Amino acid sequence: MSSHNLDLSGSKKRKRGERVFRFKTFAENGYPVGFVASSFRENVKALLEYGHLESTLGHSCTGMQSWSFQLQLHRNAPLHLVLYVVEEPIEASLNRHCKQCQYVGWGQHMVCNKKYHFVLPSTDTMAAAACLINCKAVGGNNNHDASGMNIPAPGKSSSSSLNLVELEGHIMHGVFHSNGFGHLLCVNGAETGSDLPGHQILEFWDRLCTGLRARKVSLNDVSHKRGMELRLIHGVAYSEPWFGRWGYKFGRGTFCVTQQMYQNAIEALQGMPLCLLVHHLAALTCNQLGHDISLIFSRYHTLSDHSLVTLGDLFHFMLELKSRLPTDDQNSCIDSYNPGMLVETSCRWSPKRVEMASRVIVEALKRAQFRWVSRQEVRDAARAYIGDTGLLDFVLKSLGNQIVGNYLVRRSLNPVTKVLEYCLEDLSNVSPNQDGNLGMTNSKVKGWYKISRFQLMKDVFYLYKYILKDPKLSTCTTTTTGIFSAISMAVRIILDSKYLVKEYCGEVPPLKLELGPEGKSNLYCTVMLRNSTQVLDHYKMTDNDNAIELPPYECLTLKNNATINDLKLEVERNFREIYWGLSSFVVEAIANLSRVDAKGTDMVFGLVEVGGKIVLQGSNKDMRGGGHGIVRELEGPIFECGSGNYVVDCPCGAKDEDGERMVCCDICEVWQHTLCVRIPNNEQVPHIFLCNRCEREIILLPSP
C-alpha cells in the first residue's frame, strides 16, 4: 500500500520530520504543535521541530538552514505539496534592508537578525532549483541549462542563484522578520496552473500567521484575473479588495494616496447611477459602444430580482451571480425566464389575478409610449381597472425587470427625484412561435433570460474595460460632462492603493498570569537607544536624552518573584536576539518607573503591574575592555529604510520611496516619480534628467 494513501499525522512510530500533515488543517493550534500565545519566535522554533531538516536545497553554501513539511491536499489522494521554511540570518542575506518594509511604511523599524521564508514551490520553481543544484554539483563555468538559465561556476555561487527563496513563480511565498512583522510576497492560484485556487492558499497563509502569532503582515496587491485588476473589481463590488475577505485593509497608498482618498474613490464609483451612465452613453459618437453597454445593463436588470440602481449594485450582482454558475461548461446557463409573474406560494392572491394585474400595468406603460413613468403614475392609471390597491402594490414591487409577454418591464430609481420609475422595452422584433409566445430557442431572446459563466465574465470584462479602464471613453462624448474623467480619477486612486496590511496580534498579545511565587506573569517591554549617532541622523530629536523609542513592545514572561536585575537581563537577551542593531545592547535605566530609587534586587511586580508597559534605556557597548564599556556603533544603517542619504521630493507630495519607478535629477539629485514628471511607464528614463525647479533656475541664469 502506498504511503500517499495513509493519514500519518497521528503516527508516533515515525520521526517528526517524516510525518505527512493535512493541508487544510496545518497550523491550527495543536496541529502539529500547540502554539504559545506570547512569542512569535518561540512558535517558529516549536513548529520547526516537526519539520525535516533539508540538505539538498543549496543553502549550505549560503549559511541558511531549511526545513520541509509534507502536506496532503486530500485524504484519499496521492497529491502532496511541500512547504519549505528557510531561515535567513542577516550574515547570509544579500539584502540586509527590507524593501517591503520601506514601501509599506515600516522603514523606521530596526533591522532584524533573522528572516523566516515560508515557501510553497510550484513544479517549475522546484525543477529550476533542482537543476541549479545538480549543475553546481557537476561543475562548470558560465554554463547554461536547457532553459537558458545561467549556472554559476563552483565556488562562485550566490544566494540569488542557488537559494530557493530568490526564485519567482512559487505557489506561495511569505516572509517574517524575527520581530513578528511579515510580508506575503506572492500567491499564484489556479489561473497560473497551480493545483490550488487562490482562496485556499490565502486560508493556509492566514492559519500560519494566526498560529505563529504574527504581529502585522503586509502585501502588495497586484492580483489579476482574466486581465482585470481584482482590487478594482472587488472594490467597486464589495467596498474592499479581494484580500479583504481575510482582513487585509488599506495600509499605504503610492503617489501620496491616503486612506480617505481611497474610501472616497470607492464610494464615488459604487454610487455612480446607472441611469446617469446610460444617459451619457447615449450621447456617445461611437454608438455601438453605448448600445452594447446599455444592452448589458438591461440583461442584468432582467436577471436580478431587485433593482440595480448604481454601478456598485451591478458589479456586486454580477460577481455574486458568477459564484452560482457552474464552472465545468461555459455553455451552462442560469435561467431566469418568467412567462408572467413569479407568485409565492404564500401569496394571498391567485396566480390568475396577479397575471391580470401585471397585464393591466403593461398596457398602462404601453400608453406612455415607452418613456419612463413614475410609480405613482403607473399606479393611478391601473386603478381604473384594478380596485385592489394591495394587489397593485404587490405587483409593482415584484414586476421590475421581468418579462411579460413580448415586453421587458424595466424599473430604476431616478437619481434626481429619488422616485421609482418604470418603462417597457419591446421584444416584439423576435418572431413569435405558433403559440403566440416568444420563441424560446431564438438566440436573441436567450440573452434576456439566460446567462452562461462565459458570457457573464465577458460582460464583466467589457464593463471593466470601457467604463473603468479605457481612457478613450471620454473622447467619444459629444458633450463635456466630466463624468468619465471623474471615473478615471477614482480608478487611478484605487489602483494606487495596493499596499494592504492585516494586524494579527499588534503590540500587546494576550495576558498570561499564574498565581503564586513560582508562577509567571507577562510584561511588555521596549527599549530606547541612547548616544547613537545613527538614531540622531534618522530621527529629529525632541528631547535632550538622545534616545528614541523602538517599537514594537516585546512580551516577556517573568517569574512572579523576578527582580529588576532579572528583568534587565531578560530584556537584553531578547532584544539582542531580535535586532541586529542591538547586538551588544546594555540596559542602563528604566525610563517610566515611578520609583527612581529602585534597586536591582527589588522585585519587579512590586513596582510594576502585571501586563504593564516598561520602557528601558540603554546603549550598545563594547565590554571587552572591562569596566562600564564604551559605546559602540555598528557598521551600516540599523533601520530598514537604509542610510537615507538620498532625498525624495515629488510633486505628488511623496517624501520617501514607495516602490514606484523614480528618476533622479542630475543637478540637485532629488528623486521624483517618473509618472509625476510625465515620463510614461512604457518609456525609458532619459540619460540626462533635470527637474522643473532646476530647469527654471537654468533658464533664469543670465546669458554669458
pLDDT of amino acid 7? 35
- Whether 618 and 668 share a structural domain: no
Q: Is the peptide bond between 32 and the residue preceding it cis, with omega within 30 degrees of 0?
A: yes
- Whether 15 and 76 share a structural domain: yes
Considering only residues 5 and 470, tell me which one the structure prediction assigns the higher pLDDT: 470
pLDDT score of 505 more than 50: yes
Greatest mean pLDDT among 55-59, 171-175, 582-586: 171-175
How many domains does the chain divide into? 4
Q: Is the peptide bond between 552 and the residue preceding it cis, with omega within 30 degrees of 0?
A: yes
Q: Which of 227-236, 264-273, 372-381 has the lowest mean pLDDT?
A: 372-381
- Whether 422 and 527 share a structural domain: no
pLDDT of amino acid 471? 53
pLDDT score of 511 more than 90: no
pLDDT score of 277 more than 60: yes
- Whether 571 and 656 share a structural domain: no
Shortest CA distance to 128 belongs to which of 155, 175, 163?
163
Host H or E run for residue 549: strand 549-559
Q: Which three cell numbers stand for residue 472?
A: 478613450
Q: In the predicted model, what is the mean pLDDT of residues 325-332?
A: 57
Q: In the predicted model, what is the mean pLDDT of residues 494-500?
A: 96
537-553 residue pLDDT tens: 555 433 444 456 576 88
SS (H, E, C) 15-36: CHHHCEEECCCCCECCECCCCC
Considering only residues 326 and 419, tell me which one the structure prediction assigns the higher pLDDT: 419
- Whether 51 and 188 share a structural domain: yes
Q: In the predicted model, what is the mean pLDDT of residues 255-264?
A: 96
3-state secondary structure of 285: coil
pLDDT of amino acid 58? 52
> Of the candidates 221, 254, 275, which is a domain's last residue?
221
Q: Which domain does 678 fall in, by range? A: 647-700
Q: In the predicted model, what is the mean pLDDT of residues 450-462?
A: 86
- Whether 107 and 179 share a structural domain: yes
pLDDT score of 306 more than 90: no
372 assigned to some structural domain:
yes
Residue type at 415?
A: P
How many Å apart are CA 88 and CA 114, to the nearest integer? Answer: 6
Q: How confident is the model at residue 462 (pLDDT cuts 50, 70, 90)?
A: very high
Considering only residues 219 and 349, tell me which one the structure prediction assigns the higher pLDDT: 219
How many Å apart are CA 283 and CA 285, to the nearest integer? Answer: 6
How many Å apart are CA 584 and CA 586, to the nearest integer? Answer: 6
How many Å apart are CA 371 and CA 242, to the nearest integer? Answer: 40
pLDDT of amino acid 479? 43
How many Å apart are CA 210 and CA 41, to the nearest integer? Answer: 13
pLDDT score of 434 more than 70: no
pLDDT score of 383 more than 90: no
506 assigned to some structural domain:
no
Pairing of strands 52-53, 172-177: unpaired
pLDDT score of 17 more than 70: no
pLDDT score of 220 more than 80: yes
Question: Do 536 and 543 touch, CB atoms closer than 8 A?
Answer: no
Q: How confident is the model at residue 129 (pLDDT cuts 50, 70, 90)?
A: confident
Indicate the average pLDDT of the chain. 79
Dihedral sign, Cα of residue 229, residue 235, residue 240, residue 246: negative
Q: Output the furthest CA–CA distance in the chain (Å, rounded).
A: 107
pLDDT of amino acid 339? 38
Q: Which residues of 396-406 are buried (b: 16+ CB within 10 A; e: fewer)?
A: bebbbbbbbbb
422 assigned to some structural domain:
yes
Q: Which three cell numbers stand for residue 656?
A: 520617501
- Whether 651 and 625 share a structural domain: no
Q: How confident is the model at residue 432 (pLDDT cuts 50, 70, 90)?
A: very low
pLDDT score of 3 more than 80: no
How many Å apart are CA 24 and CA 30, to the nearest integer? Answer: 14
Considering only residues 417 and 353, tell me which one the structure prediction assigns the higher pLDDT: 353
7 assigned to some structural domain:
yes
**420 Rama class: left (phi>0) / alpha (psi -120 to 50) / beta:** beta
Dihedral sign, Cα of residue 673, residue 675, residue 678, residue 683: positive
pLDDT of amino acid 481? 55
Percent of the chain with pLDDT over 90: 38
How many Å apart are CA 527 and CA 577, to the nearest integer? Answer: 14
pLDDT of amino acid 299? 83
581 assigned to some structural domain:
yes
Q: Which three cell numbers stand for residue 565?
A: 536585575
- Whether 110 and 199 share a structural domain: yes
105-123 residue pLDDT tens: 998 899 999 999 999 999 8
Host H or E run for residue 202: helix 198-212
Q: What are phi and psi of 329, to 5 degrees?
A: -135, 120
pLDDT of amino acid 472? 53
Under 8 Å CB-to-CB from 37, ≥6 apart: which residues?
Answer: 213, 509, 510, 512
Which DSSP letter does residue 256 get? G
500 assigned to some structural domain:
no
- Whether 181 and 46 share a structural domain: yes
pLDDT score of 2 more than 60: no
User: Around 538, how many Cα atoms within 13 Å sit in the side-chain half-sphere?
Assistant: 23
pLDDT of amino acid 402? 72
Q: In the predicted model, what is the mean pLDDT of residues 654-659?
A: 91
How many Å apart are CA 352 and CA 343, to the nearest integer? Answer: 10
Dihedral sign, Cα of residue 50, residue 55, residue 57, residue 63: positive
pLDDT of amino acid 362? 87
pLDDT score of 191 more than 90: no
How many Å apart are CA 675 and CA 678, to the nearest integer? Answer: 5
Question: Which stretches of 73-170 are assigned E, i.e. beta strand?
Answer: 80-89, 114-120, 143-144, 150-151
pLDDT of amino acid 520? 87
Outline where 343-475 has alpha helix (H).
351-367, 375-383, 389-399, 443-449, 453-463
How many Å apart are CA 256 and CA 245, to the nearest integer? Answer: 25
Q: How confident is the model at residue 71 (pLDDT cuts 50, 70, 90)?
A: very high
Outline where 427-523 has alpha helix (H).
443-449, 453-463, 483-495
Greatest mean pLDDT among 34-48, 211-225, 416-430, 471-485: 211-225
pLDDT score of 617 more than 80: yes
pLDDT of amino acid 451? 74
- Whether 627 and 673 share a structural domain: no
pLDDT score of 253 more than 90: yes
How many Å apart are CA 660 and CA 103, to the nearest integer? Answer: 9
Q: In the predicted model, what is the mean pLDDT of residues 161-169?
A: 74
Shortest CA distance to 321 belongs to which of 308, 340, 339?
308
pLDDT score of 101 more than 50: yes
Bridge partners (DSSP) listed for residue 410 = 423
pLDDT of amino acid 112? 94
pLDDT score of 600 more than 70: yes
38 assigned to some structural domain:
yes
pLDDT of amino acid 36? 76
CA angle, 551 then 553 then 558, to 5°: 155
pLDDT score of 509 more than 80: no
> Of the candidates 607, 631, 655, which is a domain's last residue?
631
pLDDT of amino acid 160? 35
pLDDT of amino acid 270? 95
> Of the candidates 199, 221, 243, which is a domain's last residue?
221
Bridge partners (DSSP) listed for residue 521 = 513, 558
572-597 residue pLDDT tens: 999 999 999 898 899 998 888 777 67
- Whether 144 and 31 share a structural domain: yes
679 assigned to some structural domain:
yes
Shortest CA distance to 121 belongs to which of 86, 149, 77, 76?
86
How many Å apart are CA 165 and CA 204, to the nearest integer? Answer: 19
Considering only residues 22 and 399, tell me which one the structure prediction assigns the higher pLDDT: 22
Q: Which three cell numbers stand for residue 694?
A: 532646476
- Rg of the chain, C-alpha, whole Å: 33
Tally Cβ neighbours within 10 Å of residue 332. Answer: 13
Tally Cβ neighbours within 10 Å of residue 96. Answer: 14
Considering only residues 340 and 314, tell me which one the structure prediction assigns the higher pLDDT: 314
Judging by beta carbons within 10 Å of its beta carbon (0-12, 13-18, 19+), is residue 302 exposed, middle or buried?
Answer: buried
Tally Cβ neighbours within 10 Å of residue 532. Answer: 22
How many Å apart are CA 391 and CA 5, to the nearest integer? Answer: 62
- Whether 88 and 180 share a structural domain: yes
Considering only residues 263 and 335, tell me which one the structure prediction assigns the higher pLDDT: 263
